[in-house]
Amino acid sequence: MSHGKYGNFLAQYPSSGKLTAYSFAEIWEHYDSNNSGFIDEDGLDLFFKDLLCTMTDDRHVTDEMVSDMKSCFMEAYDDAGDGKIAMSELANILRTDENFLLLFHREEQLVSSVDLMRVWQKYDTDGTKYISKSQLENFIADLLQLHGKTDIPKAKLREYTQGMLTIFDKNDDGQLSLTEMARLLSIKPQDNIILQAEQSFKNLSMREKRAEFNRIFDYYDKSQTNAIEGEELDAFVKDLLEKDNADTSPQQIDLFRKCILQNCDKNRDGKIQKTELELCLGIYTDM
């Protein structure tokens, strides 16, 4: 096998120096060919084949050599142990701009849709229902500041922003939708607590169902006010829509929230108390 016949994607990037945000984003896009948010299966084999050819300049790379290299790297860098490479893991494998690398290692772990809605409402300052390029730049600057990086040049912030857009802006409109922002924050649809509960209810006793219901309420009542309100309510509505594979755009969330409040908010305070949540979910009407 000669380099003349084999198109090594990584060969276009210099072997010395560190990858820019643009280059990292291009590499990620190439190997995450199915937009799954991971490099897996065929993408892994291709990536390690290209990486081996780049590192050794060997014209006779065999499948066995690729397999050995993949095993070695995956043992070292596959932190999740799922046989796939996430963005943070790829950033560790490749020589990447340290400040850009920090964006994949956030100190605050966002684990729920409530966290997502809080971030969304913080940065969608003009209420357009999208995170614009300038708003994303502010988000990135704040993330870097959490790492003590307060002297990042404007040009670098713009570069990091464009790199994130290249990876996450799937419709190329120059801004992030709520779904795209969720991917950037690594909040996955399979983490939907309502979907998880619905799948387990049939195997639970009535006491266990009550405990599960209380867990759901506490999950959304982050402010511990004994009511689901504000971004907590938006998160609940988003998860209800997502459970049924419905549109989860901010516009649809606004519309569905109004419907829920109209039908379930019995005391008309614009919030959802625990008894009203039972009505919303329609799960415990037989209790």
Task: Write down all domains in the chain, each with its CATH number in brackets.
Answer: 9-96 (1.10.238.10), 113-187 (1.10.238.10), 190-281 (1.10.238.10)
The structure tokens listed for 115 are 């966290």
Contact 140, 181 (CB under 8 A): no
Give me the pLDDT at residue 108, please.
Answer: 57
Which tens digits make up the pLDDT trace of 179-204? 899 888 878 777 788 888 887 777 88
Angle at 122 between CA 116 and CA 125, to 5 degrees: 130
CB-based contacts of 169, cutoff 8 Å, min separation 6: 175, 176, 180
Q: How many CA atoms lie within 13 A of 67 on its CB side?
A: 3
CB-based contacts of 24, cutoff 8 Å, min separation 6: 90, 91, 94, 96, 97, 100, 163
Q: What percent of the chain has pLDDT above 90? A: 39
Which tens digits make up the pLDDT trace of 244-256? 888 899 999 999 9
CA-CA distance, 140 to 74, in Å (whole number)?
29
The structure tokens listed for 204 are 């639970």
Question: Backbone dihedral region of 235: left (phi > 0), alpha (psi from -120 to 50 degrees) or beta?
Answer: alpha
Which tens digits make up the pLDDT trace of 83-124? 888 888 888 888 888 888 888 766 555 668 898 899 999 999
Identify the band that residue 280 occupies on the pLDDT scale cut at 50, 70 and 90: confident
CA-CA distance, 163 to 161, in Å (whole number)?
5
Q: Residue type at 272?
A: I
Q: What's the pTM? A: 0.77
Q: At 269, is the secondary structure helix, strand, or coil? A: coil
Q: At 160, is the secondary structure helix, strand, or coil? A: helix
Instruction: Determine how many CB atoms are found less than 10 A away from the CB of residue 13.
Output: 16
CA-CA distance, 287 to 275, in Å (whole number)?
12
Q: Examine the pLDDT at 154 and tell me if it is beyond 90.
A: yes
Which helix (H) or strand (E) element contains residue 180? helix 178-184
Say if residue 230 is exposed, middle or buried (CB neighbours under 10 Å; 0-12, 13-18, 19+): middle
Q: Examine the pLDDT at 159 and tell me if it is beyond 80.
A: yes
Give me the pLDDT at residue 287, please.
Answer: 38
Q: Which residue in the block uniquely carries the two structure tokens 């003590």?
A: 148
